[in-house]
Amino acid sequence: MYEPKPEHKFTFGLWTVGNVGRDPFGDPVRERLDPVYVVHKLAELGAYGVNLHDEDLIPRGTPPAERDRIITRFKKALEETGLKVPMVTANLFSDPAFKDGAFTSPDPRVRAYALRKSLETMDLGAELGARIYVVWPGREGAEVEATGKARRVWDWLREALNFMIAYSEDQGYGYRFALEPKPNEPRGDIYLATVGGMLAFLQTLDRPELVGLNPEFAHETMAGLNFVHAVAQILDMGKLFHIDLNDQRMSRFDQDLRFGSENLKAAFFLVDLLESSGYQGPRHFDAHALRTEEEEGVWDFARGCMRTYLILKEKAQAFREDPEVQDLLKDYYREDPQALSLLGPYSKEKAEALKRAELPLDTLRRRGYALERLDQIAVEYLLGVRP
């Protein structure tokens, strides 16, 4: 029961299960895990794939011969286990050169370095079979407004992304680009802060059809927004290219908690949404084990993410199939042919009919929607007392 299998498309990042537990106040509490070991462990746990930043696999400054050796060894582990690398991304935040931005650094030499690093990451990903390229603009933000940079960054971001997309097409890599918004951290404020802003921005790129989103549960929650609604809007626009699952308390620093460990109800309705949406992509856990854990705790964390997802999936399905829920929803969405005939696409006749129509306002003002009952049923599923 609830055993993860590759067909569930669960993925982790090398940087998530490999997280050494450093925080702004505390040193690492765990040793760095060998990526080859991580591949074997994740395969054993039933994951589908492993994602990575360039530097997670190939530390900065690695000489070319050593780079080739690392890749050969890593690919061998992938072959042995059948684990996939669906997504890659460039680390454009750790190097001190990126302290005032990567693509939005005021210094064109830094912007050139960020762009080159991105192209090299695409090369690496192509070698590993990745088809999704995530762009997380974590350092593209500011603490100081006095530069007026907020007015300039959009051109720089567009230029960099257009370049990268053209490179991917030119090389025949076939990447789909997934942009990841976040409100703040590590910058005081990040320019591309929310799902809504990112959806609007991507429409201004040369090839918007190749660009979508990588929304993250924690990021919208940090901003006090509703992640389920954000994902629903992304789905409506056909732009869910990847998803970062984790958990988070509202209005805190980025906590990257185990999926479903904090906002169970939101996680329940998120799984309900994802599983009914036809989304075929990876279910990626961008989270890490608590700093209190040694290695065994890391695998407990990874198992927990997947197990909770599968439990919620089963519960969501049972909730949707519950006859009482179906009755309540039938009534909630009750249809009225006369009212429906007044809605839909505009016509002169319809507008006139609409003005003449009798609408039973008294009844409408008194109508109840039975949402207390519906929500209580959801809670009872979550509490395990129903069915």
Binding-site residues from annotation: 180, 216, 219, 244, 254, 256, 286
The Cα 342–Cα 359 span in angstroms is 11
The DSSP secondary-structure symbol of 240 reads B
286 binds ligand GCO (CB under 6 A): yes
89 binds, among Mn ion, ligand GCO, none (CB under 5 to 8 A by kind): ligand GCO
Which of 74, 103, 133, 136 binds ligand GCO (CB under 6 A)? It is 136
Of 19-27, 34-42, 134-142, 188-196, which segment contacts ligand GCO by CB under 6 A?
A: 134-142
The Cα 214–Cα 198 span in angstroms is 10
Q: H or E segment at 284?
A: strand 283-285
258 binds, among ligand GCO, Mn ion, none (CB under 5 to 8 A by kind): none
The Cα 155–Cα 45 span in angstroms is 44
Instruction: Give the contact letters, 93-132, x = binds to ligand GCO (CB under 6 A), - = no.
Output: ----------------------------------------
The Cα 227–Cα 221 span in angstroms is 7
Residue 240: strand pairing partners: 213
φ, ψ for residue 332 (rounded to 5)? Answer: -60, -45
Task: Indicate if the alpha-carbon torsion angle 179, 280, 173, 120 is positive or negative.
Answer: positive
Active-site position among 8, 27, 53, 107: 53
Amino acid at 189: D
The Cα 8–Cα 306 span in angstroms is 9
Angle at 206 between CA 84 and CA 232, to 5 degrees: 60
The Cα 347–Cα 359 span in angstroms is 19
The Cα 145–Cα 297 span in angstroms is 42
- Map the footprint of Mn ion across residues 204-223, applying CB under 5 A: 216
In the complex, minimum distance from the CB of residue 216 to ligand GCO, in angstroms, rounded to a whole number? 5
Whether 56 is a known active-site residue: answer: yes
Active-site position among 56, 100, 272, 322: 56
Of 88-96, 189-197, 237-245, 377-385, which segment contacts Mn ion by CB under 5 A?
A: 237-245
Which of 55, 140, 254, 272 binds ligand GCO (CB under 6 A)? It is 254
In the complex, minimum distance from the CB of residue 218 to ligand GCO, in angstroms, rounded to a whole number? 7
Nearer to ligand GCO, 196 or 329 (CB): 196
- Map the footprint of ligand GCO across residues 233-252, applying CB under 6 A: 244
Amino acid at 372: E
Detail the residues annotated as belonging to a binding site for Mg(2+). Answer: 180, 216, 219, 244, 254, 256, 286
Residue 141: strand pairing partners: 190
Which of 216, 220, 272, 322 binds ligand GCO (CB under 6 A)? It is 216
The Cα 256–Cα 293 span in angstroms is 14
Whether 27 is a known active-site residue: answer: no
Take residue 121 and report the two structure tokens written for it.
């990451």
Nearer to Mn ion, 216 or 247 (CB): 216
Task: Point out which residues bind ligand GCO (CB under 6 A).
Answer: 89, 134, 136, 138, 180, 182, 216, 244, 254, 286
- The catalytic residue positions are 53, 56
Residues that bind Mn ion (CB under 5 A): 216, 244, 286
